[in-house]
């Protein structure tokens, strides 16, 4: 019976999928499977031939394999490896090279014979590439093929660098990289312009010949493409769908990456559900959007025709369900994000008391506060709350080099104008002008340059916070040490990061905390900064009485909003408030027009912010709620 139930739940899935609680558990499981294969081959006196991948996804697997080597005696002397791909052209010593990646994350820490390591050569003459690729294939064939191939998946659905349009029988070859793939790699190269347009990759046909294939994916960011790969039709537009044809493949996912699969996203379509309030709310909102009806117009027939008959029978009549969900959504809307004084707060998202709250807005970068919740920020100040803002990092990696020269030229001219000596400034300026033309992609700036970039972000943040109505003593710059590497890759969180946060919290003793809760990128600054706040609160809990009365509200960044069913506080903005928020964002001039790290969205931050909040308001409107110009959304985090 359990087997039948599982088959029913997974009937939309066209290949085997294993889902783990988090990427660490999944990575350990995959590493153990690789280790078991290596040991089984050792016992037979045979070689284990592995196909390996690069990128963020397999890092945890490699870390566990290194641990097993050092702590459990796992030897790699019988292992032969073939990497999937390499950028072209690419020197093996370059920071972005997959040779560098593999030695930093795996080969440099284990006892593998370096002669058994094979990584596509990015230094070849173009005329030599085709012959090299044939020889790469032949080496694999002569060893009897790959025993196990591990894969990640790109947002285009590529596996290896087999981009949309790749043939299912393709072999190792040179390819042209998709624009989205290059955008995703831009941070590693210090800008998209520096990302190679070509790569050498194993083909889909080569991958298919492996006796076992494991495709791994972590984070919400990968959820949409995973749904296409697992449940979609086979298509050259999504190369990973070709894996549906293999009898030897398994997708290994964390919960976030699996979240858009039918059995997790809309489970009522594949099984009977335990209808807690959150699932009921999600289902009713989904149904309203699916058939384009306001919540209060949904009928029993609508429920029955869309997999929700069980809910209608167990908790109906459906009109009562509709009213209940409509009221819950309506009660999230408030023009009083700090609580409405002298009002019944039993149906409001925030407490009425204390009437004037101490609120702190944590901003991971120096502009997340106004981009993400600028309207709420301004409204909290207007309504008389004691509002503080804390900029957790300097943001100094996200400033253009020519802005540094512009500010230095201003500093020299101003210093001259007041009759002060500019010798040292001029020397620094000349050093900077000499450094920039020779600067390599992602090369660390000098400390003086990093300082200037940090000062630029700081003055812009002060200007934005002042525009929102804050006094200078309510504006805090934390410059958390984990960020101050000068590199896009940051250090691990340290004790000082947590202690600085504890000190600020103890100073303010807030009743409200607002923090960035945008976790789509598991290695992003937002998630790191949020975990630092949680670590600080965890240490203070039980020791400081104010913590028991402190509520933590999460907001989202410039790209993604909470799902409607997740929203617990929605702050509507009038057209005039939208303009005020826009003006606060405009104070961040270094991030306007063309930021250093725009992602794959060409819109300016203020446009993204306005489009996002307008869409949130429209989502509420389509459900039958009041029509607003814009809405900023929040979800409470219980710590």
What distance in Å separates the CA atoms of residue 442 and residue 457, rounded to the nearest whole number? 19
Catalytic residues: 163
Q: What is the DSSP letter of 436?
A: G
The dihedral built from the CA positions of residue 350, 356, 362 and 365, taken in this order, carries a sign that is positive
What distance in Å separates the CA atoms of residue 528 and residue 334, rounded to the nearest whole number? 30
Q: What is the DSSP letter of 437?
A: G
Q: Is 263 left (phi over 0), alpha (psi -120 to 50) or beta?
A: alpha
What distance in Å separates the CA atoms of residue 230 and residue 47, rounded to the nearest whole number? 32
Per the listing, tokens 């894996």 go with 243
What distance in Å separates the CA atoms of residue 549 and residue 512, rounded to the nearest whole number? 9
Helix (H) or strand (E) holding 555: strand 551-555
Reduce the DSSP state of residue 586 to 3 states and report it: helix
Torsion angle (degrees, nearest 10) of CA 347, 353, 358, 364: -10
Reduce the DSSP state of residue 554 to 3 states and report it: strand
Angle, to 10 degrees, between the axis of helix 368-382 and the axis of helix 447-468? 30
Maximum Cα interatomic distance, the chain, rounded to a whole number of Å: 88
- Three-state SS for 78-95 is CEEEEECEEEECCCCCCC
Q: For residue 317, is the peptide bond before it cis, meaning its omega torsion is within 30 degrees of 0?
A: yes
**Which pair of structure tokens corresponds to residue 363?**
């901003």
What distance in Å separates the CA atoms of residue 597 and residue 398, rounded to the nearest whole number? 7
Task: Please enumerate in sequence order all residues whose Cβ is within 8 A of that of 291, keeping only pairs 6 or more positions apart, or say none.
Answer: 298, 302, 306
Bridge partners (DSSP) of residue 83 are: 52
What distance in Å separates the CA atoms of residue 473 and residue 143, rounded to the nearest whole number? 68
Triad 386, 391, 392: Cα angle to 5°: 125
Task: Judge whether 19 and 254 are in contact, CB under 8 Å.
Answer: yes
Q: What b/e readout covers 602-633, taking b as 16+ CB neighbours within 10 angstroms?
A: eebbbebbbebbbebbebbebbbbeebbbbbb
**Which pair of structure tokens corresponds to residue 11?**
């009937």
Q: What is the DSSP letter of 160?
A: T
């Amino acid at each position: 019976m359990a087997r039948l139930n599982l088959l029913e739940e997974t009937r939309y899935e066209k290949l085997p999928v294993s889902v783990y609680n988090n990427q660490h558990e999944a990575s350990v499981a995959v590493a153990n499977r690789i280790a078991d294969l290596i040991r089984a081959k050792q016992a037979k006196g045979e070689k284990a031939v592995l196909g390996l991948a690069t990128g963020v996804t397999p890092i945890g697997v490699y870390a566990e394999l290194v641990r097993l080597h050092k702590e459990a005696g796992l030897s790699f002397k019988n292992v032969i490896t073939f990497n999937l791909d390499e950028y072209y052209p690419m020197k093996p010593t370059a920071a972005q090279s997959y040779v560098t990646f593999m030695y930093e994350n795996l080969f440099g820490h284990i006892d593998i014979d370096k002669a058994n390591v094979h990584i596509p050569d990015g230094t070849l003459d173009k005329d030599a590439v085709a012959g090299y690729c044939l020889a790469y294939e032949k080496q694999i064939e002569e060893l009897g093929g790959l025993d196990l191939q591990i894969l990640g998946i790109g947002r285009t659905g590529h596996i290896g660098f087999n981009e949309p349009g790749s043939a299912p029988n393709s072999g190792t070859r040179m390819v042209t990289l998709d624009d989205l793939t290059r955008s995703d790699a831009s941070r590693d190269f210090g800008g998209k312009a520096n990302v190679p347009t070509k790569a050498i990759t194993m083909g889909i046909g080569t991958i298919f010949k492996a006796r076992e294939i494991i495709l791994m994916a972590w984070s919400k960011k990968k959820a949409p493409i995973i749904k296409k790969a697992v449940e979609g039709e086979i298509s050259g537009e999504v190369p990973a769908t070709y894996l549906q044809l293999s009898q030897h493949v398994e997708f290994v996912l964390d919960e976030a990456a699996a979240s858009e699969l039918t059995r997790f996203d809309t489970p009522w379509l594949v099984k009977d559900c335990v209808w807690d309030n959150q699932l009921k709310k999600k289902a009713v909102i989904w149904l309203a959007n699916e058939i384009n009806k306001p919540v209060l117009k949904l009928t029993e027939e609508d429920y029955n025709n869309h997999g929700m008959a069980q809910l209608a029978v167990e908790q109906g009549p459906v009109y009562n369900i509709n009213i209940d969900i409509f009221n819950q959504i309506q009660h999230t809307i408030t023009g009083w994000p700090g609580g409405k004084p002298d009002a019944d707060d039993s149906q409001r998202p925030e407490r009425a008391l204390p009437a004037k709250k101490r609120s702190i807005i944590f901003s991971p970068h120096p502009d997340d506060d106004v981009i993400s919740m600028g309207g709420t920020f301004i409204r909290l100040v207007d309504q008389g709350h004691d509002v503080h803002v804390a900029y957790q990092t300097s943001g100094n990696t996200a400033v253009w080099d020519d802005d540094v020269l512009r500010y230095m030229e201003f500093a020299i001219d101003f210093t001259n104008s007041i009759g002060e000596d500019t010798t040292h400034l001029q020397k620094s300026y000349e050093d900077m002008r000499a450094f920039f033309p020779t600067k390599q992609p992602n090369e660390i700036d000098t400390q003086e340059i990093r300082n200037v970039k940090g000062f630029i972000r700081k003055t812009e943040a002060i200007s934005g916070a002042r525009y929102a109505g804050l006094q200078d003593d309510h504006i805090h710059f934390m410059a958390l040490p984990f960020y101050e590497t000068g590199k896009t890759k940051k250090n691990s969180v340290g004790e000082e990061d947590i202690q600085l946060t504890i000190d600020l919290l103890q100073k303010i003793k807030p009743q409200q905390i607002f923090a960035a809760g945008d976790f789509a990128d598991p290695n992003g600054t937002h998630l790191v900064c949020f975990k630092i706040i949680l670590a600080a609160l965890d240490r203070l809990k039980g020791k400081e009485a104010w913590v028991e009365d402190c509520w933590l509200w999460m907001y989202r960044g410039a790209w993604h909003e909470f799902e409607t069913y997740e929203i617990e506080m929605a702050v509507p903005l009038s057209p005039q408030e939208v303009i005020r928020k826009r003006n606060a964002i405009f104070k961040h001039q270094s991030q306007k027009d063309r930021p250093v790290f725009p992602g794959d969205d060409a819109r300016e931050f203020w446009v993204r912010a306005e489009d996002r909040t307008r869409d949130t308001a429209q989502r509420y409107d389509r459900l039958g709620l009041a029509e607003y110009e814009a809405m900023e959304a929040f979800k409470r985090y219980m710590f």
